[in-house]
């Protein structure tokens, strides 16, 4: 990246002088470089590289063969000429030996050679045989070796003949040659001619090869220097560019840019460099983008959790020696999900952006702010001696609380829950410290939100305990250690038992003298909900409750059983299908089953909730809203849903007698239920006064310890069998 910056700010023409990354030979000045490079290339590249190049070999072979062929053609021509010369010479010798020996006085019909003269010519010269003819082709005499040439017509007068072994040569002396009216065929010795010609050929071939080699070498050196070597140089640079296009290790061209090859190399070099620069720019832009995507949150532009951990690690490392502590604060916006669901994501996003902006602009410069999750932010800073991590958290909470966030001209007063941890007090590993701050944050949320919680080791224990409960619960489900208790529900006007709520019980075996103890559903149900284990547990409870309802029906009493269904069951399982299966399996009438859902179900996904409730209602099952009055839901859904009963949360009943607000809420719920044609049931009825209050307000049904605690099914059966049908018998 540094290279890109450099190449951006410095003109390319100066690059070779200041350490251009492409120029690996910049230790010498350009002239020295050039000379050295040229010489080196001439002797090393020029000889070694060129002779390694296939192209060079092809050119060399073509040049060599061409020269050889030209020379061979010339040689063939000169050899024939040489041979002809030799024959001419021996013809001349023979003629000058024969002509003086001819008799000037001989008649036309007799041979002009006497036997004696002929013998002398034959014995003293290269002539070995003679045949003498008259001009009308009469053989006049024959001497020495017989000649092979037959003089049959005057057309043959120009012919010559050579014996197959090359030792004899015959030619014809015509009247013009002899200046006499005879034709003489002379057979002469020609055995020296062949060796002479062969010798001549040998010499010529050697010269030919030497010449070809010389010319080829000179040509190759010249070609190599001016053409092949630059091409190889260009090829090497192109290969380097292909191998490493964004940072090619290419050499500066030593070739004259004024000739065509040098110019072509220069153009190619600048294209390679330009391409490398483009690629570097693209790469660095892509890297920037990837870095942004990997380390920054797109919505708020704040660093994300990954970068936060990196920064934390870096701060931990740099402050190790000075033993300075770090504050790690995590913050979660309270009920942000409600805002998102009710006002839409645009509003939610605007609030998140507002929080990010407020935190990053208001906190001191040395603080590092990140978006750590959906509505979770994290802050870290080095602590001074006068500051504690809690001080930082209070500052952060104050910043959020300081004034409402304005979105589309509406004010949203946001509260937050904060978790605080300190490095290194709460962990050696920065990542671990952040996790501990998160644990503290969860604790703050569990304790009712809008508060700051500092991490304590006890939290860890709590988390471990929860894991242990989850493991044990899984075991309990498998080993059938869960049971269902039933608590009766009464019609307040008639006093009859109209139903029972099925409540799960877990008897956890231990080594105590009782052999075990009950674990409250309030303790393990939330853990089962968080882990998803509530789905099989809920299914088991429903099956168990329906089996019991069926047994009671068979024993003569129709008692409707209310089964609690948690939000997780609503969304994680096919509740409708399972309910149908259980009804079918157990054969219980659908109206003997009631499902109790809490208001939270409507807040998660309203359309799924509406649809599921409709389908359940269609099966004939009754629906009650449990703990009514504690949720945040709007009343409008009550009309949309298929519900039969509102169940006033027990907290309103407990306090109705001493808290006018709670009494007012209880009354309102009763009136609301009636105006919507719903039954209203009150739970947590413990005393006669509670009961009197509910009778006075016209509540329909009751459930509570005043009548019976939840009991095992046999006890329940005994209770309803003995029950005389009058609530007045309960005189607590
Ligand atoms: P809930 O559904 O609101 O059940 C009523 C709770 O109030 C029961 O507590 C019951 O024992 C208690 N209760 C009833 N009358 C009185 C009274 O007069 N005074 C007092 N102080 N308490 C009374 P329990 O059984 O401990 O259950 C607590 C919660 O656990 C239930 O609240 C329900 O939300 C959940 N739960 C219990 N069983 C199941 C289950 O099978 N499935 C699901 N999903 N949740 C269950
Ligand atoms: Mg209930
Ligand atoms: Mg309840």
Q: How far is the CA of 487 from the centre of ligand 2 (A)?
A: 10
- Tell whether ligand 1 has an atom less than 6 A from the beta carbon of residue 521: yes
Distance CA 464, CA 480 (A): 24
Q: If DSSP codes are grouped into helix, strand and coil, which group holds residue 529?
A: helix
Ligand at shortest distance from the CA of 525: 1
Distance CA 583, CA 595 (A): 13
Residues of the chain with pLDDT under 50: 1-46
Closest approach atom of ligand 1 to CA 528: 44
Burial of 403 from C-beta contacts in 10 A (0-12 / 13-18 / 19+): exposed
Taking CA atoms only, the protein residue closest to ligand 1 atom 37 is: 503
Contact between 522 and 530 under an 8 Å Cβ cutoff? The reply is no
Among 297, 324, 406, residue whose Cα is nearest residue 358: 406
Closest approach atom of ligand 1 to CA 627: 3
What strand order describes the sheet that includes 168-173?
Answer: 139-144, 127-134, 182-189, 168-173, 160-162
Residue 40 forms beta bridges with which residues? none
Query: How many CA atoms lie within 13 Å of 614's alpha carbon, on the beta-carbon side?
Result: 9
Residue 503 forms beta bridges with which residues? 485
Helix or strand run (H / E) with residue 537: helix 534-554
Taking CA atoms only, the protein residue closest to ligand 1 atom 20 is: 684
Distance CA 153, CA 486 (A): 151
- Tell whether ligand 1 has an atom less than 6 A from the beta carbon of residue 525: yes
Ligand 1 pocket test: which of 564, 582, 624, 716 has the largest number of ligand atoms within 8 Å of its C-beta? 564
- Tell whether ligand 1 has an atom less than 6 A from the beta carbon of residue 209: no
Residue 142 forms beta bridges with which residues? 131
Closest approach atom of ligand 1 to CA 485: 25
Q: If DSSP codes are grouped into helix, strand and coil, which group holds residue 343?
A: helix
Number of neighbouring beta carbons within 10 Å of residue 634: 12
Q: How far is the CA of 564 from the centre of ligand 2 (A)?
A: 5
Sign of CA dihedral 310, 315, 316, 318: positive
**φ/ψ (deg, to 5) at 405:** -90, 130
- Tell whether ligand 1 has an atom less than 6 A from the beta carbon of residue 627: yes
Contact between 621 and 595 under an 8 Å Cβ cutoff? The reply is yes
Return all residues near 151 (Cβ < 8 A) that are at least 6 apart: 131, 133, 137, 139, 157, 172, 183, 185
Contact between 382 and 366 under an 8 Å Cβ cutoff? The reply is yes
Distance CA 410, CA 400 (A): 16
Query: How many CA atoms lie within 13 Å of 242's alpha carbon, on the beta-carbon side?
Result: 6
- Beta-strand pair 416-423/482-491: unpaired
Beta-strand ranges (E) seen in 98-234 are 127-134, 139-144, 160-162, 168-173, 182-189
Distance CA 277, CA 12 (A): 11
Q: How far is the CA of 487 from the centre of ligand 1 (A)?
A: 9
Count of H helices and E strands in the chain? Answer: 26, 22
Burial of 88 from C-beta contacts in 10 A (0-12 / 13-18 / 19+): exposed
- Tell whether ligand 1 has an atom less than 6 A from the beta carbon of residue 522: yes
- Beta-strand pair 482-491/701-703: antiparallel
- Tell whether ligand 1 has an atom less than 6 A from the beta carbon of residue 704: yes
- Tell whether ligand 1 has an atom less than 6 A from the beta carbon of residue 710: yes
Among 17, 41, 18, residue whose Cα is nearest residue 254: 41
Contact between 454 and 669 under an 8 Å Cβ cutoff? The reply is no
Return the pLDDT at 311.
95
What token pair was written down for 357? 């902006």
Distance CA 633, CA 609 (A): 13
- Tell whether ligand 1 has an atom less than 6 A from the beta carbon of residue 102: no
**How is the chain split among helix, strand and coil, in percent rounded to 5?**
55, 20, 25
Burial of 673 from C-beta contacts in 10 A (0-12 / 13-18 / 19+): buried
Interior CA angle at 437 toward 435 and 439, to 5°? 70
Number of neighbouring beta carbons within 10 Å of residue 154: 12
Return the pLDDT at 159.
79
Taking CA atoms only, the protein residue closest to ligand 1 atom 15 is: 704
Give the CA distances from residue 415 to residues 187, 355, 448, 617, in Å, rounded to whole numbers and listed in that order.
Answer: 136, 11, 12, 39
Number of neighbouring beta carbons within 10 Å of residue 137: 13
- Tell whether ligand 1 has an atom less than 6 A from the beta carbon of residue 507: no
Contact between 280 and 4 under an 8 Å Cβ cutoff? The reply is yes
Sign of CA dihedral 243, 248, 249, 252: positive
Residue 485 forms beta bridges with which residues? 503, 712
Q: If DSSP codes are grouped into helix, strand and coil, which group holds residue 419?
A: strand
- Tell whether ligand 1 has an atom less than 6 A from the beta carbon of residue 590: no
- Tell whether ligand 1 has an atom less than 6 A from the beta carbon of residue 252: no
Ligand at shortest distance from the CA of 477: 1
Among 277, 392, 383, residue whose Cα is nearest residue 329: 392
User: pTM of the predicted model, to two decimals?
Assistant: 0.56
Taking CA atoms only, the protein residue closest to ligand 1 atom 46 is: 564
Distance CA 169, CA 146 (A): 12
Q: Indicate the DSSP class of residue 106.
A: -
């Amino acid at each position: 990246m540094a290279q890109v910056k450099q190449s951006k700010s410095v003109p390319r023409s100066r690059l070779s002088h200041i350490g251009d990354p492409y120029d690996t030979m910049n230790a010498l000045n350009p002239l020295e470089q050039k000379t050295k490079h040229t010489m080196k290339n001439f002797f090393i590249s020029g000889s070694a590289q060129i002779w390694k190049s296939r192209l060079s070999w092809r050119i060399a072979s073509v040049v060599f063969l061409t020269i050889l062929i030209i020379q061979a053609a010339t040689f063939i021509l000169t050899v024939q000429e040489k041979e002809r010369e030799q024959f001419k010479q021996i013809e001349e010798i023979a003629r000058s030996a024969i002509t003086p020996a001819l008799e000037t006085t001989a008649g036309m019909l007799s041979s002009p050679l006497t036997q004696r003269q002929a013998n002398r010519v034959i014995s003293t010269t290269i002539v070995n045989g003679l045949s003498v003819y008259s001009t009308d082709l009469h053989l006049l005499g024959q001497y020495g070796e017989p000649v092979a040439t037959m003089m049959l017509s005057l057309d043959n007068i120009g012919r010559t003949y050579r014996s197959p072994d090359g030792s004899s040569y015959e030619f014809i002396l015509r009247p013009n040659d002899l200046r006499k009216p005879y034709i003489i065929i002379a057979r002469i010795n020609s055995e020296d001619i062949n060796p002479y010609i062969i010798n001549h050929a040998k010499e010529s071939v050697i010269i030919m090869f030497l010449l070809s080699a010389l010319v080829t070498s000179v040509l190759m050196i010249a070609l190599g220097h001016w053409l092949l070597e630059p091409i190889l140089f260009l090829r090497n640079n192109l290969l380097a560019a292909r191998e490493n296009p964004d940072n090619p290790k290419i050499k500066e061209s030593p070739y004259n840019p004024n000739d065509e090859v040098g110019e072509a190399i220069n153009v190619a070099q600048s294209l390679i460099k330009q391409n490398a620069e483009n690629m570097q720019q693209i790469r660095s832009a892509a890297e920037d983008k990837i870095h942004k995507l990997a380390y920054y949150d797109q919505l708020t532009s704040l660093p994300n959790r990954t970068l936060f951990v990196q920064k934390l690690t870096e701060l931990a490392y740099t402050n190790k020696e000075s033993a300075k502590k770090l504050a790690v604060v995590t913050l979660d916006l309270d009920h942000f999900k409600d805002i998102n669901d009710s006002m839409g994501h645009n509003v939610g996003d605007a609030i998140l952006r507002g929080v990010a902006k407020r935190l990053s602009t208001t906190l001191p410069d040395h603080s590092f702010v990140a978006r750590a999750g959906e509505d979770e932010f994290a802050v870290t800073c080095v602590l001074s001696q006068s500051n504690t991590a809690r001080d930082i958290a209070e500052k952060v909470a104050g910043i959020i609380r300081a004034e409402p966030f304005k979105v589309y001209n509406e004010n949203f007063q946001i509260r937050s829950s904060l978790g605080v941890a300190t490095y290194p007090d709460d962990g050696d590993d920065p990542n671990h410290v952040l996790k501990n701050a998160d644990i503290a944050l969860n604790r703050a949320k569990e304790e009712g939100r809008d508060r700051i919680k500092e991490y304590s080791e006890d939290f860890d224990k709590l988390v471990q305990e929860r894991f242990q409960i989850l493991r044990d619960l899984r075991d309990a489900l498998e080993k059938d250690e869960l049971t269902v208790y039933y608590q009766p529900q009464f019609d307040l006007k008639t006093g009859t038992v109209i139903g029972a709520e099925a409540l799960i019980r877990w008897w956890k075996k231990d080594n105590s003298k009782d052999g075990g103890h009950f674990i409250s559903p309030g303790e393990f149900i939330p853990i089962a909900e968080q882990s998803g284990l509530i789905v099989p547990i809920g299914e088991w409870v429903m099956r168990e409750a329906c089996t019991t309802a069926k047994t009671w029906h068979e024993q003569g009493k129709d008692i409707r059983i209310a089964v609690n269904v948690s939000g997780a069951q609503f969304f994680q399982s096919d509740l409708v299908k399972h309910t149908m299966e259980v009804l079918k399996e157990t054969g219980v009438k659908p109206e003997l089953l009631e499902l109790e859902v809490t208001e939270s179900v409507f807040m998660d996904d309203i359309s799924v909730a509406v649809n599921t409730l409709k389908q359940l209602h269609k099966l004939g099952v009754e629906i009650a809203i449990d703990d009514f009055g504690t949720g945040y839901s709007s009343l409008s859904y009550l009309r949309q849903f298929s519900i039969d009963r509102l169940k006033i949360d027990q907290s309103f009943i407990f306090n109705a007698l001493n808290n006018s607000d709670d009494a007012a809420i209880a009354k309102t719920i009763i009136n609301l239920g009636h105006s919507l044609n719903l039954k209203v049931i009150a739970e947590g009825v413990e005393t006669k006064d509670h009961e009197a209050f509910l009778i006075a307000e016209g509540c329909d049904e009751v459930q509570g310890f005043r009548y019976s605690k939840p009991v095992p099914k046999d006890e329940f059966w005994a209770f309803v069998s003995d029950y005389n049908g009058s609530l007045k018998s309960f005189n607590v």
